[in-house]
Amino acid sequence: MAEMDLQITAIAATDDPLLLPPEKIQWYRDAKIGLYIHWGLYSLTQDGEWTMFLNGIDVDEYAERADLFAGDHFDADELAELAVSLGARYSYFTTRHHDGFCLYDSAVSDFSSVKTGAKRDFVREYLDAFRAKGLEPALYYSPMDWRFPGYFFPHMYHKSALAMKQQGYAQVRELMSNYGVIPVLWYDGGWLAHGGLHFSMKTGWHGRKPGTPGDQGQWLWEPEKLNAMVREIQPDVLINPRSGWQGDFDTYEAGQLYKFIDGNKIQNDRPWEGCDALNAWWSHVPGIQEGRGTEHWIRTTSQVICRGGNMMINIGPMGDGSLDPEHTKIFHETGEWIRENGEAIYGTRGGPFEPGSWGGASCRGDQVFLHILEWPEDGLILPDLGNTFSSAKKLVDGSPVEWEQDQKGICLKKPEHIEPVVTVVVLK
């Protein structure tokens, strides 16, 4: 049988000069698995990266904590080993969150780990360690900064808002210029870029709501100008859509991700990734949120792959930089499943069978990988797609799966032994 043309749907042509061509995004579409790392000054209190904002901590009081942020047990090599254990091919690291504290040496801010207690450039340590493992380490950056009144009210405190913008442009330039080739720039804080003045994770929007005429955030950030600067420095960097510009790929975070999964849509025409954390917060919080153990991440990863996306799982080091053993256990266990089923993950696209409660499919070349979450007792029946299959076997052990195909479709009999969470069956 000739190789089936299942795996790639071309990205629609566009006149946007900032968008990367498909060939420069291919590595990202094939990488599939990533490690997200949220760590910063907020990690000291272990109550979430929004602690300064939600707890109303005075700016000067919060700044004093920087001398306590030493990161004595931060080990970039350990994080790189964790990424390898997970099966990640790329990663993101928080260079600076909304509190304004930088984990690198910024020439335009003294509020950084280099100029306060730690006296260390954690971004450089991260990049060096991950590159040494053959990974693609990328950078997270938030242009938002709660220390500026102009963040909340850019019209009332226009000079402050412009100063925040100037700082943001300068710091993006630093990150793109001083640390070698960066594969992805992951902006955060898209709510202000897309409209709206002030956002609380507990109470939602305040002030004018997004979309109010005359109050779109683009007037302040000029995202095309910002990202044109990025392209001049890093012509091949992928950019996410949270700066107010559409970006090279879509991001579905937390609740958005599960809503997308529930929609049972396959998205192969535009690159996308899902991302989520072990708890409600991205930075370290003790324990694991109920229902988010290893089985959850295996199922979620499978569901994302079958819909054509990449899966990014977040780890939050503790305040001193050390990793929580209860958290890393989940990464090792999830990584074991990813390694065993890597053939059905890396370099695949979603489909051709539509996903459903039974599971979904990924494909590459002349192979279809059925990710079966729930086996119907009377067998799994899939529709006829006009392709003739020659064999069916379990991916993990190569044992044959009983099947038959006719003009109505294909029926697979439930094997005597199935995998604990997801059973992958290869159709050739």
| Domain end (from 344, 361, 379) | 344
DSSP for 222-249 reads: -HHHHHHHHHHH-TT-EE-STTSS--SS
Tokens of 181: 């080739």
Residue 392 lies inside a defined structural domain of this protein? yes
User: How far, in Å, CA of 72 to CA of 4, rounded?
Assistant: 53
Contact 359, 370 (CB under 8 A): yes
Instruction: Write the pLDDT tens digit of every residue in 304-326.
Output: 999 999 999 999 999 999 999 99
Shared-domain flag, residues 77 and 31: yes
Decide if pLDDT at 380 tops 60: yes
Left (φ > 0), alpha (ψ -120 to 50) or beta: where does 98 sit? alpha
Residue 172 lies inside a defined structural domain of this protein? yes
Shared-domain flag, residues 320 and 225: yes
* pTM, entire model: 0.93
Q: What was the pLDDT predicted at 192? A: 67
User: How far, in Å, CA of 319 to CA of 324, rounded?
Assistant: 11
- For residue 13, the tally of other CB atoms under 10 A from its CB is 6
Residue 12 lies inside a defined structural domain of this protein? no
| Domain end (from 305, 328, 344) | 344
Which structural domain, as residue segments, surrounds residue 224? Answer: 22-344
| Domain end (from 289, 320, 344) | 344
Q: Considering its fold, how many domains does the chain have in total? A: 2
Shared-domain flag, residues 282 and 246: yes
- For residue 284, the tally of other CB atoms under 10 A from its CB is 27
User: How far, in Å, CA of 11 to CA of 246, rounded?
Assistant: 14
User: How far, in Å, CA of 180 to CA of 242, rounded?
Assistant: 23
Q: What is the dihedral of CA 148, 172, 127, 255, to 10 degrees?
A: 60
Shared-domain flag, residues 370 and 307: no
Lowest pLDDT segment from 12-21, 59-68, 285-294: 12-21
Instruction: Write the pLDDT tens digit of every residue in 356-367.
Output: 999 999 999 999
Residue 292 lies inside a defined structural domain of this protein? yes
Percent helix, strand, coil in the chain, to 5, is: 30, 20, 50
Shared-domain flag, residues 71 and 171: yes
Residue 8 lies inside a defined structural domain of this protein? no
Mean pLDDT for the stretch of residues 419-424:
97
Shared-domain flag, residues 304 and 401: no
- For residue 166, which of 116, 114, 222 has the smallest C-alpha distance? 222
Instruction: Write the pLDDT tens digit of every residue in 168-197.
Output: 999 999 999 999 999 999 999 877 665 544
Shared-domain flag, residues 307 and 418: no
Burial of 234 (0-12, 13-18, 19+ CB in 10 A): buried
User: How far, in Å, CA of 186 to CA of 230, rounded?
Assistant: 12
Residue 2 lies inside a defined structural domain of this protein? no
Return phi, psi of residue 25, to 5°.
-105, -10
Residue 13 lies inside a defined structural domain of this protein? no
User: How far, in Å, CA of 375 to CA of 386, rounded?
Assistant: 23
pLDDT band at residue 15, thresholds of 50, 70 and 90?
A: confident
Residue 71 lies inside a defined structural domain of this protein? yes
Return phi, psi of residue 200, to 5°.
-120, 130
Q: What CATH number is given to the structural domain containing 331?
A: 3.20.20.80
